[in-house]
Chain A
């Protein structure tokens, strides 16, 4: 599934960073525990990527479209790359749109990986867009995003 609207525009932007400021989502009106500075996902992406172009393609972010419990969500990233010393994935960064803070995980690979496939389990606070950005050995960046619907337990536990 593709991201919609604002987020898609944000990912596709080029060196002009005006889109970042304009598209910054209103994060949780600062009511959710934002002790640390409120950094939007787009800002976080921009900090990671710098002024480089983010291309679409080569990366596949896999998440279940309907999440049974946001506490533990299986996430996998596959990158189409020969993984040779000359052409390989250097890093994979994952970002969240609506978690209290946007960073999820960064994987650092190299030609010894054999294939650029990683999997882990993440927490998703709400239905949202998740973005994976892959950094290649030639300095280029590629991204994919997935929109997920997150359900929580119907009856919450009080201990």
Chain B
């Protein structure tokens, strides 16, 4: 046990990680989707302590970003000097259920967009303000504030026909082997979610808690950040924030998790 946690860049840990991943990679065939009743949130894979952190709004560090988001919601911005609240009123009412159905097909973009992109579209078109940078504090704050308004609601199954090809594109990415380790998402998150990797539980990889406070980041981050982490972890080229592949993956993950509850802002190790 002591060899594992010795040194983050230590040879022992990396070799063990790679060895275990190769064992996983050697397993046969394409992944089978997790049967709907067997789906479990990452929440259930965490220890009691971390769960308690998520459950208590006065102790959940993600709520600090929610406070910021609430402030931004009510702050005038851009050439139009408009606040989100000026059009959308009280977010608790107007944004209820919104995060549960994003990414969503956007006619103007002729493809699905995620919540952050949608927020930026509003900023540009309505507030006449420049877009917020992906993964910036402000964009995360707004996204988590909007996300919170869907907490406890089930993720809405995508019924828009126009979104279907993009869900399929996301599914293909999820099942495609990539990178130096030649691993697909499905191999860990569909096939081996009941096992551990270097002491950490392999979850099923569901998106319902995002943006979330990750202990590893010591901060709040988006689903795209987490996907990029995983891609880097498997030694694949990580797509840039906002790239179509990441949005397609998000869309597919939300489809895969349809019916499971939104937990934003979650806490994860």
Contact = CB atoms under 8 A, between A and B. Distances in A.
Contact between chain A and chain B defined by CB under 8 Å? yes
Interface of A: 64, 66, 68-74, 126-127, 149-158
Contacts of B198: 151, 154
B197 A69 contact: no
A71 B216 contact: yes
B229 A155 contact: yes
11 contacts: A71-B218, A73-B49, A74-B49, A74-B53, A127-B2, A151-B4, A151-B5, A151-B199, A154-B197, A155-B232, A158-B232
A149 B50 contact: no
B5 A69 contact: no
Given A73-B49, A149-B5, A154-B199, 19 more contacts: A64-B49, A66-B47, A68-B46, A68-B50, A69-B216, A70-B5, A71-B216, A71-B218, A74-B53, A150-B5, A151-B5, A151-B198, A151-B200, A152-B8, A154-B198, A156-B8, A156-B233, A157-B216, A158-B232
A44 B230 CA distance: 40
Most chain A beta carbons < 10 A, residue from B1, B13, B199, B230: B199
A156 B200 CA distance: 12
Contacts of B52: 74
A153 B17 contact: no
A72 B200 contact: no
Contacts of B232: 155, 157-158
Contact of B269 (A68, A126, A127, A156): A68
Contacts of A152: 5, 8, 13, 216
A155 B269 contact: no
A70 B50 CA distance: 12
Contacts of A73: 49
Contacts of A68: 46-47, 49-50, 200, 215, 269
B114 interface: no
Interface in B223-269: 229-230, 232-234, 269
B215 A154 contact: no
B9 to A, nearest CB: 8
Contacts of A157: 216-217, 229, 232-233
Nearest to B230: A155
A72 B218 contact: yes
A158 B229 CA distance: 7
A1 B229 CA distance: 35
Given A64-B47, A149-B1, A71 B8 contact: no
B6 interface: yes
Which residue among A66, A70, A152 has the maximum number of chain B CB atoms within 10 Å of its CB?
Answer: A152
